[in-house]
């Protein structure tokens, strides 16, 4: 991404980024990602292409920014502040809430974008990587006798697996039941 997200955006930049991300979410719920063009994004956002390219390299870069927006909603950047074995559940709950609160949007996006397609894989990989970072730095794995990176990878894959099964594959499960699935699949009693 061309715009530096580590610095506080100006009001103008904030409005521009918000407009482009909202437009992308709208378009994703109306047509396949592959058919969305930068021209269409700019037309709907009412910005010239030059403005788009001041912020993003291409539409893939914009979709990554959309995942970043969701990550901000679940406060992934504050992961290092949670130094306990409960961090897995805390961030699972935050992701669960984002999926639940945006279920209609997810359903619309999946109506036009294949479950196994590029867009869904991009989303899953983005959040899997974020979860690995969170888990690597916050859970005490000393009892497991395995490399931290391996366990973090396994846990993040399982978190995403449970969320995909509930929300993307439409299996009803409230948060309590989702915790049960997660704990049984990961044998979390050894960590939590």
Q: Report pLDDT digits (tens) over 119-128.
A: 988 998 898 8
Computed over every residue of the chain, the mean pLDDT equals 88
Answer whether residue 192 shows pLDDT above 50: no
What pTM does this model have? Answer: 0.83
Cα–Cα distance measured from residue 171 to residue 183, given in angstroms and rounded to the nearest whole number:
18
Per-residue pLDDT at 9 exceeds 80: yes
Pick the CATH number of 74-190 from 1.10.287, 2.60.40, 1.10.357, 3.30.70: 1.10.357
Alpha carbon distance 101, 112 (integer Å)? 20
**pLDDT greater than 80 at residue 180:** yes
Contacts of 187 (CB under 8 A, 6+ apart): none
- The closest alpha carbon to 25, from 75, 74, 71, 65, belongs to 65
Going from N- to C-terminal start, the domains of the chain cover: 11-65, 74-190
Using an 8 Å Cβ cutoff, are 111 and 56 in contact?
Answer: no
> 23 with 41: CB under 8 angstroms?
yes
Structural domain 11-65, CATH architecture: Orthogonal Bundle (1.10)
Res. 100: pLDDT tops 50 = yes
């Amino acid at each position: 991404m061309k715009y530096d997200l580590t610095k506080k955006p100006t009001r103008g930049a904030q409005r521009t980024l918000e407009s482009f991300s909202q437009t992308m979410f709208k378009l994703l719920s109306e047509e396949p990602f592959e058919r969305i063009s930068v021209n269409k994004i700019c037309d709907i956002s009412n910005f010239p292409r030059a403005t788009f390219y001041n912020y993003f390299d291409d539409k893939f870069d914009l979709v990554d920014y959309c995942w970043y927006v969701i990550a901000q909603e679940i406060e992934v950047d504050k992961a290092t502040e949670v130094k306990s074995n409960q961090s897995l559940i805390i961030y699972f709950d935050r992701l669960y809430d984002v999926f639940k609160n945006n279920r209609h949007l997810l359903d619309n996006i999946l109506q036009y974008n294949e479950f196994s397609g590029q867009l869904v894989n991009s989303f899953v990989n983005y959040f899997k990587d974020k979860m690995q970072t969170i888990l690597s730095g916050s859970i005490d794995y000393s009892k497991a006798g395995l490399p931290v990176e391996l366990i973090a990878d396994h846990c993040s894959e399982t978190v995403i697996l449970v969320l995909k099964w509930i929300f993307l594959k439409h299996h009803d499960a409230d948060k309590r039941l989702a915790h049960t699935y997660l704990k049984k699949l990961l044998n979390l009693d050894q960590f939590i």
